[in-house]
Amino acid sequence: MKTFPLIRVQGSPLERGKRIGVEAREYIIHNIDTYKKIFLEMGNIGWSEARRSAELYIQSIAEYDQEIFDEIIGISEGSGQDLLDIIALNARSEILLNSDGCTSMAFVPKATENRETLLAKNWDWNPQINQGVILLEINQDPRPTILMATEAGIVGKIGLNSEGVGVCLNLLGAKQHAHGVPIHIILRGILNSRSISQAIGQISRAERGTAANFLIADSEGSAFNVESTSTDFDVLFPEEGRLCHTNHFISSQMNVVDTGRVKFPDTYGRLWRCKELLNDRTEKVNTEQIKHFLADHHGYPDSICRHGNTCPTDLGRMAASNTIFSIILNLSSKSFEITNGEPCSAEYVSYIPEWSCRKHFKNKI
């Protein structure tokens, strides 16, 4: 069974970052080397140019949250990699002007068998990055403790926290963009939040570097879908207790030139199929049924369970990508299950964070 390495850290922002840098050093170097190739292949961007672009985000990251920036400094020092290399990883979506695609779903208690709040996502991206994925548990008291899946060197991605707030991401495309806060930094801001309202505030309080969709839920049974550009956003709500999203704008309130629908033409097929799967089931869902949704091959190879590199790119078919991992976050139990690879063939592995284990043990005494 393939699993991603799990790293646990605590202490001050700088201390946490140094520990991540030391323990994830080989994975961070792998990601830097891999993005050097990806930037050239996808955007004809040399690494020196990427580093110059990264420099433009230093001020926005530091102003958004100094603790996050200090952790990035620590990762640089601990891994022995230049600070601009680490910032380039964290701003890679902005430097490439959107890249990876994915399919995300949310289910609130009225729609789930055990009255739980569930978030689910297939992360589709270049398979070269698979060896650079890690799981991070970050104890950052007094802020919430975080458990997330991320690319080594990137401080925010897909996960949940000890307050029961969780987030999934879908890349969107828009002509409007700015040297605002990178979306992976905003993801960390969301995971630092104590409530879903604070999480939305982490998106809205700063100009963002590029367009993105944030699917946010909490243990109280709320789920909101936040579509955003650099300067605007709109919030969508569950229908019949369910939400799903791919890589194009849905909101009629967003005045945006949507470039994602050109870059990700399969986004429509995946969203249609996702809705079909959900609408076909009148009964309440459980995690096993969600795993079935995530392993769906309708529209193969550019399906919800994506095997994009099995066919060459061609006219009308964009960059090939695979499902790197599939994840189901249970906000009620504050745990998640994740695959290393496509969910049609890879096994889900469960992760219960240390804080949850300690709480469970105390309740048993």
pLDDT digits (tens, 9 = 90+) for 278-306: 988 778 999 999 999 999 999 999 999 99
pLDDT score of 361: 37
Q: What is the CATH number of domain 98-364?
A: 3.60.60.10
CB 337 within 8 A of CB 327: yes
Quick: pLDDT tens for 45-55: 999 999 999 99
pTM, two decimals, is 0.95
CA distance 349 to 101: 23
Instruction: Please provide residue 135's backbone torsions phi and psi, each rounded to the nearest 5 degrees.
Output: -105, 135
Nearest to 227 by CA among 244, 214, 209, 245: 214
- Residue 266's identity, in one-letter code, is D
DSSP 3-state of 348: coil
**Which DSSP category does 347 fall into?**
P
Alpha-carbon separation of residue 8 from 50, 58, 139, 140, 303 (angstroms): 30, 26, 8, 11, 34
Mean pLDDT across the chain, nearest whole number?
A: 93
355 vs 202, more confident:
202
Residue 362 has pLDDT above 50, yes or no: no
Residue 318 has pLDDT above 70, yes or no: no
Quick: pLDDT tens for 184-203: 999 999 999 999 999 999 99
The domain locations on the chain are: 98-364
Q: What percent of the chain has pLDDT over 70?
A: 95
CB neighbour class for 146 (10 Å; exposed up to 12, middle 13-18, buried from 19): buried
Hunting for tokens 């976050």 — which residue is that? 329
Q: Is the N-terminal amide bond of 301 cis, ω within 30° of 0?
A: yes
Residue 67 has pLDDT above 80, yes or no: yes
Quick: pLDDT tens for 75-86: 999 999 999 999
Quick: pLDDT tens for 135-170: 999 999 999 999 999 999 999 999 999 999 999 999
pLDDT score of 264: 84
Residue 358 has pLDDT above 60, yes or no: no
Mean pLDDT value across residues 169-194: 93
Quick: pLDDT tens for 20-36: 999 999 999 999 999 99
